[in-house]
Structure 1
Amino acid sequence: MSMSKRIVRKLAIAALALAAGFYFIPFVTLFFLCTGLIDVMRNTRRDAMVFERYFLGNGIPTWLLSPFNLLIDLLSHRNKGVYKLDDMPPEWREELDFVLDTFRARKDEIVGDIDQVFEAGRRGMYVFKWYGKENPHNIQEFKREFRFIKTIAVSVFSGRESTSFHYGPLRLTLRVLYNLSPVKTDQIFIECGNQKHYWHNEPLYIFDDTLIHRSVNQYDARRYCVFMDIVRPTPYPGLLSFLVSVVSTLVEKINAIFYSHWKILRPVGKPAPAAAGKSSQPTE
């Protein structure tokens, strides 16, 4: 089916669904149209593709969650869309610095472990912690209890692999990305709205992933990016953390929808060094 026919088909289905909505539940339909328009207009890029993907494509879950996301905006500090590290409050900053310093110090070890379990494939997600649920691993620094950081992983793209433009579903957290081995080329970047961020200029990127974005690796080599979710800066971190924990019960289903093109990789525990006179035991 050609692109134009696909769009016409989507519009026809949407028109029927909208007509049925206004006939059977007019106030609910109008409410979600209004919250969706408010939500999608947050994007700095406002062309046809942005609206088509939000209302007719991979942004539909974000649209359906728009009332909740707009409520979270009211409970949080002003949403900058894209953040600098200095924009984070001191307690948030301490945790981010700690994890990023650990990745910098143990980069070769972590990348080597990833390559062992991800010999081939388009996209991989090497997961230490996912929405608070921890996989067995050997990075002791990541086993501390974090108050704000909920996900610690590494996103791996094979050479010449990219995502399409898409929206994240929930605004409880911010996405933190850090390129472990930036190559001096404009072929590797993340694009959020109408701005491209080139990793060789700055390896760290913090943003609201409910804005339309895509990750691109047009270079013929693997790209490794630290992938973290951190609770949004808010006067109510306990409440947002609680809501994240509630969402975590649905994580397996969410993964199936939003990471269907990814291979989820789990670290393989290695034996701890044996103490004198004792046999080694596997780490947790």
Structure 2
Amino acid sequence: MTRKQKKAIRRFAIAIPVLVLCLWLIPIVALVWIAAGLIDVARNKGKTKLMYSRYFMGNGIPTWLLSPFNLLIDLVSYRNPGVWTLDDFPPAWREEIETVLNTFRTRKSEIIADIDSQFAEGRRGMYVYQWYGKHFVDNVPEFNRDFKYVRTIAVSVFSGKESTTWHYGPLRLTLRVLLNLAPADSDRVFIECNGRKHLWRDDPLYIFDDTLFHQSVNEVDARRYNVFMDVIRPSPVPGLLSALLSVVSLIADKIKTMFYKNWKMIDRRREAAKTPA
């Protein structure tokens, strides 16, 4: 029996008794959570056994537990296509997103050099300017303002031949905006979501709902630098989503530790860069 098979059996051995116990003690609540989970996971395209297994018995459990909340957020937000383009955003959202992206494009070489000086080696790094609205590294003046819709500004760094496992993000209050700052000319550097691979060499920008099943892959022997932004979902009541995110920000550091335990977080404040005269 392989290690993978043993792990699957162990998961079933834990999950089945827990499910039976919940159906016995709190049947209505358990059925609501099961139904919400099935509706939530069904949003994914390219369905596989792994997708369901990870959702109900693996790293997707937090997403499943939050599925009733996420489905309620869907009701107070505009249509979610899953994978987005800039044209899908209202003008006010798009303006903020493009402001941040253009700063990264303009100061790309400087930002990459600074990241390399702080993260010389390691598997995965996260260089954090803002995290759920809380300011950290402050050496890029353009990122030191409080944005209305952009709540996280960071750069994720992969070493050569480093990839994530298939996983789900927990909350649908935000959308994930990624921009590859130095795309490798290879079809082995990509993000895969909703049954499709997105090659960074073809388009450095990718925007998606990260509660969908996805994996980020870097199979070349070179570093991969991705701008990592969280943006409040377009909604007719953005103030409500913003207030809910403010609650999330109170536990943001604990969330960061839980979901990014395999990353080195570079988030200490630094002296702001002087603006040229």
1:53-99, CA deviations, whole angstroms, 9 ceiling, x for partnerless residues?
Answer: 00000000000000000000000001100001111110000001111
Secondary structure in structure 1 of the residue aligned to 2:8: helix
What one-letter code is carried by the residue in structure 1 that aligns with 2:148?
Answer: R
Q: Is the CA contact (8 Å cut-off) linking 1:126 and 1:267 kept in structure 2?
A: no
**What residue number does 1:257 align with?**
258
1:174-225, CA deviations, whole angstroms, 9 ceiling, x for partnerless residues?
Answer: 0000000111110100001210000010000000000000100001000000
Identity %: 57
**What residue number does 1:133 align with?**
134
Following superposition, the deviation at residue 266 of structure 1 comes to 2.3
What one-letter code is carried by the residue in structure 2 that aligns with 1:35?
Answer: A
Following the alignment from structure 1 to structure 2, what is the Cα–Cα distance between the partners of residues 209 and 203?
17
Q: Is the CA contact (8 Å cut-off) linking 2:140 and 2:272 kept in structure 1?
A: no
Q: Is the CA contact (8 Å cut-off) linking 1:128 and 1:267 kept in structure 2?
A: no
Following the alignment from structure 1 to structure 2, what is the Cα–Cα distance between the partners of residues 10 and 27?
24
Following superposition, the deviation at residue 145 of structure 1 comes to 2.2
Following the alignment from structure 2 to structure 1, what is the Cα–Cα distance between the partners of residues 90 and 38?
30
Following the alignment from structure 1 to structure 2, what is the Cα–Cα distance between the partners of residues 271 and 61?
37
Q: Is the CA contact (8 Å cut-off) linking 2:133 and 2:146 kept in structure 1?
A: no
What one-letter code is carried by the residue in structure 2 that aligns with 1:242?
Answer: A
Following the alignment from structure 2 to structure 1, what is the Cα–Cα distance between the partners of residues 272 and 42?
52
Secondary structure in structure 1 of the residue aligned to 2:5: helix
What one-letter code is carried by the residue in structure 2 that aligns with 1:167?
Answer: Y
Change (3 A) 1:242 1:188: same
2:81 aligned with 1:80, yes or no? yes
Q: Structure 1 regions of 5+ residues with no counterpart?
A: 276-284
Q: Is the CA contact (8 Å cut-off) linking 1:191 and 1:197 kept in structure 2?
A: yes
Pairing 1:1-284 to 2, within 5 Å after superposition: 2-266=3-267, 269-270=270-271
Following the alignment from structure 1 to structure 2, what is the Cα–Cα distance between the partners of residues 38 and 47?
15
* Structure having the higher Rg: 1
Following the alignment from structure 2 to structure 1, what is the Cα–Cα distance between the partners of residues 147 and 173?
16
Following the alignment from structure 2 to structure 1, what is the Cα–Cα distance between the partners of residues 275 and 127?
27
Change (3 A) 1:274 1:182: closer
Q: Which moved more, 1:239-248 or 1:136-145?
A: 136-145
Following superposition, the deviation at residue 267 of structure 1 comes to 5.5
Following the alignment from structure 2 to structure 1, what is the Cα–Cα distance between the partners of residues 275 and 198?
45
Following superposition, the deviation at residue 251 of structure 1 comes to 1.0
**What residue number does 1:280 align with?**
none
Following the alignment from structure 2 to structure 1, what is the Cα–Cα distance between the partners of residues 267 and 50?
35
Change (3 A) 1:83 1:274: closer
1:88-131, CA deviations, whole angstroms, 9 ceiling, x for partnerless residues?
Answer: 11000000111111001100111011001101100000000000
Following the alignment from structure 1 to structure 2, what is the Cα–Cα distance between the partners of residues 165 and 240?
27
Change (3 A) 1:118 1:160: same
Secondary structure in structure 2 of the residue aligned to 1:169: coil
TM-score (structure 2 length as normaliser)? 0.96
Following superposition, the deviation at residue 143 of structure 1 comes to 1.5
Following the alignment from structure 1 to structure 2, what is the Cα–Cα distance between the partners of residues 272 and 43?
43
How many residue pairs get aligned? The number is 275
Following superposition, the deviation at residue 6 of structure 1 comes to 1.2
Change (3 A) 1:274 1:140: closer
Change (3 A) 1:47 1:142: same
TM-score (structure 1 length as normaliser)? 0.94
